[in-house]
Chains A and B, each alone.
Chain A
């Protein structure tokens, strides 16, 4: 009934064949081809009209423009297709049937990734010959071209994995509000205005830096500054990563591969069980270790990068502080189980595998210990950095206050969020995110408006430290002692909140055992 080729695709990955059959209808296929050809013709015409430029320059213009357009189009269209398809499947309930099949989740998800955006793939694929032709005609460095397409392939794989993750999450959580098409458009917008520019900034600065693209490009553009000025070495843990081909390619590829593996671990788990937390506890440890090491590495620079090294002590301390807070809050929201899961966990405690082991590893257990472990991981890198590179180099006590205040306030946030998620309320995510947002923003704004700031009123340092904003130059000794009071207050509040949460769990546990009987 089916051709050998179709049959082979179907045997290898039924999901891929299903997407081809659903999407490669003559009319849609024709539309994709026509759009691609019209786009290419318009571009080609545009450059061929520039008769005031030599022919080779026109080819170069076309090649460079297409170099920019292809990733933008691919990332944006591909992620829109994926998110919208997954939202639709989840809404219709068809994904459940696929889940019940014996095929491994990764087969299905790979089939989706390769098959759902097949029309954009075809439209963009048809433009590749013209891009290659223009590149060869204008003498674009060959190594750059190889790296360009390799990065494009791996970058798409990583980003589309994230798109699938977002698609699964946005369709199955109450966190997401609004129409499914809005979710897809939102993600595509993020891709277009954030990811794609970031992709180019990163790759031009690191991946493609040693491949001669700049030199090639500058020869067509008399206004551009000399290429040597643009070759700023970028360091990661003091090691230049954009000076040799192997380092620049290797760094980008390894980062992308690790990120993709981590996303896939989450994907496979979530696809199988959409009601669970976004990531498992051990996945959070891996993700936090990876991201913390990746980011901190950029703040470790040798004197060669002199300008940056100077600003990095203070600015770096606060940038990393902000990154750590942001990362922990995201992990916290992804890790804290909701009431139903907590109740399940309480019930299983009849056969405990050891409560500590549960709190560190088990999916449904409260996330406070796991967040504490993540904070230990973060601080394992942040603390040495603070004392060797950051503000701690000059002023160790200030560094200690910053680290402790950050850790304390994040533990308070976690306990409160976990407590809210354990309550019997509607939309607990909205409540916890709203509550957290208010708590993080309103008190400091009020204090600032009322001029209750450390510079004006040194005693207020205790409040600022308590709130997790130990921002001061710590010029006077009273500021440090005031901050210490804030830290003690944090500690008391943590103990109180944990104790209160334990009581809450105990009450829940009792009501559970009386229910089951």
Chain B
């Protein structure tokens, strides 16, 4: 029997007064996925995440977490134990020490000694804050505070991690560190649902992508499937000699759709419609023509470009 999806929503709708923030969203996220939710500001991402985190009650529709349906107006403690939620602002208690802060939340989630201390050490190592454990929270940098918040979010070993714009406001080094931590968590079996209005933040580690526009989930699919939707691929070729003969040769090739010289880079960009075998054959024929090839590689179109091609508004 296949396990139930970690997140399954049906016709999920949230209305604030007269405006609809989330409109009839049917979402499914499977176990172990890193699901990236993209959309411009105000598209309803935060509201959707807050509903999944039980922080907001839906106006209509249902949410099931790990196969268990959320019951409105009830505390739902079992579901809450499975969820870790990190909102985009991460308020902390400045009067506590790092260790005491995590200890407090661990106890709120019913962790007891001796597992408690063991888990605290484990988690502090994961977010690289071991040497800060007896520091007051008020003395931490923004990046550290963010990592501490992440530690708080996963202290109780949730199966689902909900992150709302987690990298906004972080410097590049902190972003890299943060992504690394997320990858570690995914390897540990966590399902991660992450939102951002910047596509490039998510592209390199998400397994699935959803796009929200005006409260609606207009696209939701695996990343691989998205890339495969676009059958054309781009090849970059450069030679030690003149590019012109190569260009002529390529233009006569049956599978070359388009061919553009990039003079400043001394490269030719080729739009190619063949299979991987056809690419090998093309390289072989270039070599046999004695062109002095020094670079021949395939580039993937960025998700950004794919989405724009698919007719969605630019997401960043």
| Alpha-carbon distance between A278 and B89 when the two chains are bound, in angstroms | 27
Does residue B107 face the partner (Cβ distance < 8 Å to A)?
Answer: yes
Interface size on A, residues (CB 8 A): 36
Contact surface of B with A, Cβ cutoff 8 Å: 13, 15-18, 20, 53-55, 57, 59-60, 73, 75, 77-78, 80-81, 83, 85, 87, 89, 91-93, 95-97, 99-100, 103-105, 107-110, 112-113, 117, 120, 152
Complex Cα spacing A98 to B152, Å: 11
Q: For A2, give its contact among B93, B108, B113 (CB under 8 Å).
A: B113
A424 vs B92: C-alpha distance in the bound complex, in angstroms? 35
Asked if A184 CB lies within 8 Å of chain B CBs, one says no
For the complex, give the distance between the alpha carbons of A339 and B19 in Å. 12
Is the contact region of chain A dominated by helix, strand, or loop, or is it mixed?
helix
B119 to chain A, nearest CB (A): 11
- Residue numbers in B under 8 Å from A2 (CB-CB): 103, 113, 117
Q: Does A103 contact B (CB under 8 A)?
A: yes
List of A residues within 8 angstroms of B117 by Cβ: 1-2
Q: Which residues of A contact B99 (CB under 8 A)?
A: 1
- Contacting pair B93 A22 (CB below 8 A): yes
Query: Is A224 in the interface zone, CB < 8 Å from B?
Result: no
Known: A2-B113, A17-B107, A515-B20. A105 touches B92 (CB 8 A): no
Q: Is A343 an interface residue (CB 8 A)?
A: yes
Residue from the list B17, B77, B81, B104 in contact with A18, Cβ < 8 A: B104
A21 contact set on B, CB distance < 8 A:
96-97, 100, 104
CA distance A11 to B80 in the complex (A): 19
Let me know if A315 is at the binding interface, CB within 8 A: no
**CB pairs A–B below 8 angstroms (22 shown):** A1-B99, A1-B120, A10-B107, A18-B104, A21-B96, A21-B97, A21-B100, A94-B91, A97-B105, A99-B55, A100-B53, A100-B55, A100-B80, A101-B109, A105-B75, A339-B17, A340-B15, A340-B16, A343-B18, A344-B15, A515-B20, A516-B20
The 4 closest A-B pairs by CB, nearest first: A14-B107, A102-B77, A101-B108, A22-B95
Chain A contacts of B15 at CB under 8 A? 340, 343-344, 347, 515-516
Please give 5 more A-B residue pairs, beta carbons under 8 A apart, in addition to A18-B104, A93-B91, A102-B77. Answer: A10-B103, A18-B96, A101-B80, A339-B17, A516-B15
Task: Indicate if the CB atoms of A17 and B104 lie closer than 8 Å.
Answer: yes
Chain A interface residues toward B at CB < 8 A: 1-2, 7, 10-11, 14-15, 17-18, 21-23, 92-94, 96-105, 272-273, 339-340, 343-344, 347, 424, 511, 515-516
A1 to B107, CA, bound (A): 14
- Residues on B with C-beta less than 8 A from A93 are 87, 89, 91
Q: Which residues of A contact B85 (CB under 8 A)?
A: 100
If A14-B108, A340-B17 touch, whether A102 touches B93 (CB-CB below 8 Å) is: no
In angstroms, how far is the closest chain A Cβ from the Cβ of B190? 17
Contacts of B80 in A (CB 8 A): 100-102
B151 CB to nearest A CB, Å? 13
The answer on a CB contact under 8 Å between A343 and B17 is yes
